[in-house]
Amino acid sequence: MTRLNGWRPGRDATRRIPTLLGPPRPPAAAPFRPRRVAMLSVHTSPLHQPGTGDAGGMNVYIVELAKRLAAIDIEVEIFTRATSAALPPSVELAPGVLVRHVAAGPYEGLAKENLPAQLCAFTHGVMRTWADHRPDHYDLIHSHYWLSGHVGRLAAHRWGVPLVHTMHTMAKVKNASLAEGDTPEPASRVSGETQVVESAHRLIANTGKEAAELLHHYDADPRRVAVVHPGVNLDRFRPEVATAESGVEAGRMAARARLGLPRDALIPLFVGRIQPLKAPDLLLRAVARLLQERPGLRERIVVPVVGGPSGSGLTEPEGLQKLAACLGISDVVLFHPPVAQDHLTDWYRAASVLVMPSYSESFGLVAVEAQACGTPVIAAEVGGLPVAVRDGVSGVLVPGHQPADYARALSDFADTPMRAARMAEAAVVHARSFGWPSAAAATADVYRAALHDRRPPPCAACPRDVVTSGEGPCLPRLLPSERPVGHSSLDRLLGGA
């Protein structure tokens, strides 16, 4: 876990708080290690294929984090919305990790923008599951994305447990850097995120910059903010090396042979959801400009685009193909649907460089996955990408979103193969610092800190197990039926749960 103590925000961050303070680490012998965590992912299931619909880096994050938490004896139950009547009520994702499908709204055809209307039904489903267990079945709630945060803050209030929340993306940040023609996030989301930030006992940010954005845009309490870099599955994402002497390049040639790609081609790869936020169109415009300036490259360039339409990209699902035709580069662009993680490694290994020109990224797991496979990255200098990519070492960061700048970076890769090879080797080394075991251990530290603050040791003067509010006398640990509900909106939402 990266501490915020002593780290000073840049000029864009709030001046009212000179330093960011992470949560206090509990003593080594603190008895508040969680046994079981309720993890909430309302709008996208960890079982869905990343790169399709709303499934992306957050899905990978939840799956990998849950598995690694289970490996250190913290059981995880992931609640997600059921998207098919054929789904079983629960599925074991891995030992110690259970996915629970909650019926909330129509199974299919429900856009993410319409999900707020289903939060009441989803919350009710979560409460029904809780009612089937002992009141202390879950020690803590970890919600992902603002929709889950709303369910989490109500459940945490009812269960008397801490809420840890990860934003993943923020409306105010996205709206500040919209792609041309993209749809702004609504005011209702901004308001909802503000409520979640106010309610959460701990907020996990992917980077120091995201932590500063939480303070600046949402007035978050710095004592409740912790920075934990996401990880990468280094067992899966790694170079394919035939011998110790052959290096990354041998694996690149083998992957190209399996995928049927030219051995000596310049291959700039895009992986992700096809939507304006991710800016795959910028890569195509950059390639068109590059070929206009250097027509001789056309014979040795292939541009794979691996992913499916998502978000506002669904309004014109074939828009990228039409753009390629309009730019006159359809002959060099290879569109491929999303692939499973095990097959994605071949695309990373085969590429000369991954291009990630996003307008906003809270971290950029795709960039780290590619580097772990030995592929350098050209990325926009936004969000968490300056952490995910070491500029000039494991890749190149591009300020702004001008096609000419990306064309120039691609041209440099074509002209300096030795530099590209050095970056490929450095990329592997850089990615090794982002392992999931350390990310899970740091997240468990955040859990312990939240539990330490929320549930101090029993009061020796009291006759039974108690909790304290930290602001007054001891309060008895009440059964669910005994706990007071603070306001009528909760009564209406949770009634009958």
Q: Are 322 and 285 in contact (CB under 8 A)?
A: no
The answer to the question of whether 5 is labelled as a binding residue is no
The annotation status of 315 as a binding-site residue, yes or no, is: no
Q: Is 169 annotated as a binding residue?
A: yes
Instruction: Find out whether 54 is annotated in a ligand binding site.
Output: yes
Cα end-to-end span (Å), the chain? 36
Query: Is 189 labelled a binding residue?
Result: yes
Q: 57 among the known binding-site residues?
A: yes
174 labeled part of a ligand binding site:
no
348 is in an annotated binding site: yes
- Judge whether 480 is annotated as a binding position: no
Q: Is 55 annotated as a binding residue?
A: yes
**138 in a labelled binding site:** no
Q: Residue 219 annotated as binding?
A: no
Annotated ligand binding at 64? The verdict is: no
272 is annotated as contributing to ligand binding: no
Tell whether 50 is in a known binding site.
Answer: yes
Residue 61 is labelled as binding a ligand: no
* Annotated binding-site members for Mg(2+): 348-349, 351, 375
* Annotated binding-site members for UDP-N-acetyl-alpha-D-glucosamine: 49-50, 57, 273, 278, 339, 361, 369
* Annotated binding-site members for 1D-myo-inositol 3-phosphate: 43, 54-59, 112, 145, 169, 189
* Annotated binding-site members: 43, 49-50, 54-59, 112, 145, 169, 189, 273, 278, 339, 348-349, 351, 361, 369, 375
